[in-house]
Amino acid sequence: MWEHERLVVRTGKRSGMTTMVALHSTEAGPAVGGCRMKPYGQITDAVADVLRLSKAMTLKCEAAGIPHGGAKSVVVVDRPLTPELRREVLLDHADLINEFGGAYRAGPDVGTGPDDMLVLRELTPYAYCLPEEHGGTGSSSGPTARGVLAALRAAAEHTFGTADLTGRKVVVSGFGSVGELIAEGLAGADIIVSDVDESRRADRFGWVHPDEAYKVKADVLVPAAVGGVLSPETVKELDVRLVVGPANNQLTDDGVADLLAERGIVWVPDHVASAGGVIYTLAREDDGDDHETALRRVDRIEETVRRLLGPRR
């Protein structure tokens, strides 16, 4: 079933690279979503990714009570990106964003950051998260991590009877910008991190090889790397009681949620746990909230998760 409003794929006139925007829904308001820039095996893989991610953004906005719909964009990196080529493909992408006349508004995602948003802004007003020195809110990793920590408090209370994770074993899979902030925010817990990039290894935390991260016996698993990590196969091997993390689209398909439930593993849907970044950015950049007020809105994820999970199991 085709449930998206629009999918546009273009070859950039400057770069010759493929960029695309999927608009899932504008029912609640203009659609927001990040711009992902990475290589894909086939164009069809990129299309599948952008369609899945844009739908997740609709769910994320809805769960967070944000008056926006969901969209996402992808830049398919098909050769080494020199600074010149990166700029060209971003300008091409800005042209594509403009075709949507404001129905799609972009932010950073995997492979892009605030400096890239600044390049988009040269040609389109529809780009969020510019660097702070240019009047934007910069990287949303901090608010995203804060939202995950809020979700963790509510989910831990539901699962363990206390929001305090002191002494609990927590595996953080993906020690990138959000994963690191989550690990830092869990003072007192026994943290084990994992990353495909060995150079990310940090002495202050335990370490597990990425192939083992989803098999370790622990209390909590925090998926903070890539999507599609919870499959029928990986769920069979999980030895944790709670899964909460920022990675988008963690399930390989919706049925995996039932498998988690059958095994008695509490899972907080990623579109709920990872909404801190978008909540914060829109509160600051659209609603004009100050930093503290916007963070308080992020903290409401704790209440949302409490309502979602219900009383203690």
Ligand X SMILES: NC(=O)c1ccc[n+]([C@@H]2O[C@H](COP(=O)([O-])OP(=O)(O)OC[C@H]3O[C@@H](n4cnc5c(N)ncnc54)[C@H](O)[C@@H]3O)[C@@H](O)[C@H]2O)c1
Q: How far apart are CA 222 and CA 172, in angstroms?
A: 5
Decide: is 173 part of the binding site for ligand X (CB under 6 A): yes
Applying CB under 6 A, which part among 2-10, 115-123, 136-144, 284-292 lies near ligand X?
A: 136-144
DSSP code, position 200: G
For ligand X, which is the closer residue by CB, 196 or 261? 196
Decide: is 177 part of the binding site for ligand X (CB under 6 A): yes
Decide: is 250 part of the binding site for ligand X (CB under 6 A): no
Annotated catalytic residue 13: no
Element (H, E) at 255: helix 255-262
Decide: is 9 part of the binding site for ligand X (CB under 6 A): no
For ligand X, which is the closer residue by CB, 91 or 240? 240
Decide: is 257 part of the binding site for ligand X (CB under 6 A): no
Applying CB under 6 A, which part among 8-16, 41-49, 169-177, 232-240 lies near ligand X?
A: 169-177
- Taking Cα atoms as reference points, which of 126, 29, 115 lies closest to residue 73? 126
Mind giving me the DSSP string for 59-127? HHHHHHT-S-EEEEEEEE--S---HHHHHHHHHHHHHHHHHTTTSEEEEE-TT--HHHHHHHHTT-S-B
Chain residues 102-131 in contact with ligand X, contact rule CB under 6 A: 110
Decide: is 197 part of the binding site for ligand X (CB under 6 A): yes
Element (H, E) at 206: strand 206-207
Residue in 71, 248, 256, 269 binding ligand X, rule: CB under 6 A: 248
Q: How far apart are CA 282 and CA 30, in angstroms?
A: 12
302-313 exposure pattern, b = at least 16 Cβ within 10 A, e = fewer: bebbbebbeeee
For ligand X, which is the closer residue by CB, 91 or 256? 256
End-to-end CA distance of the chain: 36
Applying CB under 6 A, which part among 14-22, 92-100, 191-199, 303-311 lies near ligand X?
A: 191-199
Residue in 196, 233, 236, 287 binding ligand X, rule: CB under 6 A: 196
For ligand X, which is the closer residue by CB, 71 or 91? 71
For ligand X, which is the closer residue by CB, 140 or 160? 140
Asked if residue 36 lies in contact with residue 53, where contact means CB atoms within 8 angstroms, the answer is yes
Residue in 35, 138, 277, 285 binding ligand X, rule: CB under 6 A: 277
Q: How far apart are CA 223 and CA 273, in angstroms?
A: 11
Query: Which residues of this chain interact with ligand X, rule CB under 6 A?
Result: 110, 140-141, 144, 173-179, 194-197, 200, 210, 224-226, 246-248, 274, 277
Positions annotated as catalytic residues are 72
